[in-house]
Structure 1
């Protein structure tokens, strides 16, 4: 931005060197335009300095937050921990069923099968029944069978 200030100074010197009459309308206009350009260049330098200071401050905050995350969560990233937990949950006590209508995967707990209560599991996406423990159906005679079931 120093280049902009230099260019404004050059224009100021050029106007003085041309001996523009300060009394003429054109001379007054050029003088005021050059003055405003100088003020704009100065303000722009202040804004750029403030921007640079803010960037340094945000960078320092980012580093501090990174250190705090590492101290709190350990060296393993949070996403990896969540993935591990989801895999563990998927392996323990959950049944996965694919909806025959929209092919959305629906999960429910195995404990729901232990009850002697008629249970219907519906797809949260389309509302289609994906699993039923209704003993009156033909499938129930062979035991409860999920529609499109795939166990992990």
Structure 2
């Protein structure tokens, strides 16, 4: 995995929607990272959990796409994984930075809180890079 790909995943896998904690780093060659996140979402609402993309410098999908697997489902909502285009972020020194203003193929994730949810919820998922790395996410949801 190139340094540029690691930087992409580091930037793209950070959760949004009032989150706290470090950004995720996915490493090459079977390396692993564990990430704990906390988000807040109103009951009955949807929170974007982030976007990740495995792309070539010409902004096309790489030959080996990433894969996301839900490992523990939430009890007071649901997680949705969509394979669709979105905006990735690459640092200016990355040859893929020209893709920052273009929608690129990738994976988007969402948490949907149930209308009657309250308190906290927890779920986990694994984000596998196309080169063998994996990030294990555990997300705590504060339901407002």
Query: TM > 0.5 between the two?
Result: no
Pick the structure with greater CA Rg: 1
- Structure of higher RCO (CA pairs closer than 8 Å, 6+ residues apart): 2
Q: Normalized against structure 1, the TM-score is what? A: 0.20
Normalized per residue, which structure has more strand? 2
